[in-house]
């Protein structure tokens, strides 16, 4: 005999279903309100973020928010040179030393530096929008060959939370450098302030609790090198130069088209400077000769040189000795002293210089057939 089938459970009445739907609606509204209330406290000036802020985008964003423009422009002349760019720019200039020299010279200029890891043009436009540009100011922004790889965003692996701190959601959906799933994930990050600052605040909560449990006063996060520079002489290399190195740039790997992330960002920087009547200068800060000879194919180097030399705002800085870098691309304390001194003189007399010539032996694998 087959087992008897039990009768179905009693079904809700129409009135009970309406009450359930109303309850779910109220629950959803309460959830949205609670999330909105909680997320309103997630911003880069949050007290908890002060205990967990730990990357260049967050610290530079914080520095911009702390700016006192009246104090910054209190010197005679009141003109500002905004140094905005990547970690290469951050390592190249000593902001305090430059301003001390300019003050001693009674110069109408002072500098304010915002250099961040992965601070290429597509990221730096977001930084520049946060600064009080005025007519007659100067903007100095560095460019480098590695910024113009095809699909730069994917190769740079910049977390979406950091990009949300610099760019608007409506811009992110246009980033062709990102895969569609990455763009959709970023576009779902509403409100963006919550997702941009979530990690810093969560890290701050953990740090605060751990310090309290250890019987210590909670320690505020420190900017370390993010607002100044590293003090090391050398860093460990990630491998021998060659085509298998992670920094290697192949013959056809560059993209100078208008939709490339950093080409588009540079055009926006130009437009923003023009709108604020600020003078834009692009800085070519030479990298190690070894890097350009052994990690860049000569076809890519030629494409870079042609594009670079066609930019009307380009300023070439001097080539440093090989020992004046702490890795393939970043000046160390010796190189920073040289470039800082050069910039002080340049600010008083911004005369274009010729680009540095490559004198390093180019290996056969980097030559065209």
Going along the chain from its start, the domains and CATH numbers come out as: 67-158+221-366 (3.40.50.1110)
96/111 Cα distance (integer angstroms): 9
Burial pattern 184-203, b for ≥16 Cβ within 10 A else e, equals: eebeebeebbbbbbbbbbeb
| Cβ pair 230, 122 in contact under 8 A | no
Per-residue pLDDT, 38: 81
pLDDT recorded at residue 257: 95
Query: What is the reported pTM?
Result: 0.91
Structure tokens at 308: 């670079």
pLDDT in tens, the chain (369 residues): 677 788 888 888 888 888 889 999 999 999 888 888 888 888 888 888 999 999 999 999 999 999 999 999 999 999 999 999 999 999 999 999 999 999 999 999 999 999 999 999 999 999 999 999 999 999 999 999 999 999 899 888 888 888 999 999 889 888 888 878 878 888 888 888 888 898 898 898 899 899 888 888 999 999 999 999 999 999 877 777 888 998 999 999 999 999 999 999 999 999 999 999 999 999 999 999 999 999 999 999 999 999 999 999 999 999 999 999 999 999 999 999 999 999 999 998 888 889 999 999 999 999 987
Longest dimension (CA), the chain: 105
In degrees rounded to 5, what are phi and psi of residue 302? Answer: -65, -40
Residue 94 vs residues 36, 79, 153, 163, 179: alpha-carbon distances, Å? 41, 18, 29, 26, 38
pLDDT of 1: 63
């Amino acid at each position: 005999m087959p087992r008897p089938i039990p009768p179905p459970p009693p079904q809700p009445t129409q009135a009970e279903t309406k009450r359930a739907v109303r309850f779910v609606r109220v629950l959803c509204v309460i959830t949205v309100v609670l999330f909105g209330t909680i997320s309103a406290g997630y911003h880069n000036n949050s007290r908890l973020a002060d205990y967990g802020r730990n990357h260049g985008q967050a610290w530079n964003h914080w520095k911009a928010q702390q700016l006192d423009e009246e104090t910054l422009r209190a010197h005679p002349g009141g003109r500002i040179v905004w140094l905005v760019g990547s970690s290469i720019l951050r390592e190249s200039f000593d902001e305090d030393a430059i301003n001390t020299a300019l003050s001693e010279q009674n110069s109408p200029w002072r500098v304010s530096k915002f250099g961040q890891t992965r601070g290429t043009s597509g990221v730096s436009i977001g930084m520049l929008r946060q600064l009080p540009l005025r007519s007659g100011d100067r903007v100095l922004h560095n460019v480098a060959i590695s910024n113009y790889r095809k699909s730069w965003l994917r190769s740079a692996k910049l977390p979406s939370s950091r990009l949300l701190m610099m760019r608007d959601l409506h811009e992110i959906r246009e980033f062709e450098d990102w895969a569609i799933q990455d763009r959709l994930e970023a576009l779902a990050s509403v409100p963006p302030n919550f997702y941009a600052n979530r990690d810093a605040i969560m890290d701050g909560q953990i740090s605060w609790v751990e310090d309290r449990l250890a019987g210590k006063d909670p320690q505020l996060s420190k900017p370390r090198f993010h607002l100044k520079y590293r003090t090391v002489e050398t860093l460990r290399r990630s491998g021998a130069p060659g085509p298998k190195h992670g920094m290697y740039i192949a013959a056809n790997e560059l993209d100078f088209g208008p939709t490339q992330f950093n080409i588009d960002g540079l055009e926006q920087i130009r437009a923003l400077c023009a709108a604020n009547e600020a003078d834009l200068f692009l800085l070519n800060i030479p990298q190690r000769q070894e890097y350009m000879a052994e990690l860049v194919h000569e076809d890519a180097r030629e494409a870079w040189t042609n594009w670079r030399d066609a930019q009307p705002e380009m300023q070439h800085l001097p080539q440093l000795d090989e020992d004046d870098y702490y890795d393939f691309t970043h000046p160390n304390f010796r190189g920073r002293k040289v470039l800082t001194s050069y910039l002080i003189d340049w600010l008083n007399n911004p005369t274009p210089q010729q680009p540095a010539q490559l004198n390093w032996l180019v290996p056969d694998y980097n030559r065209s057939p």
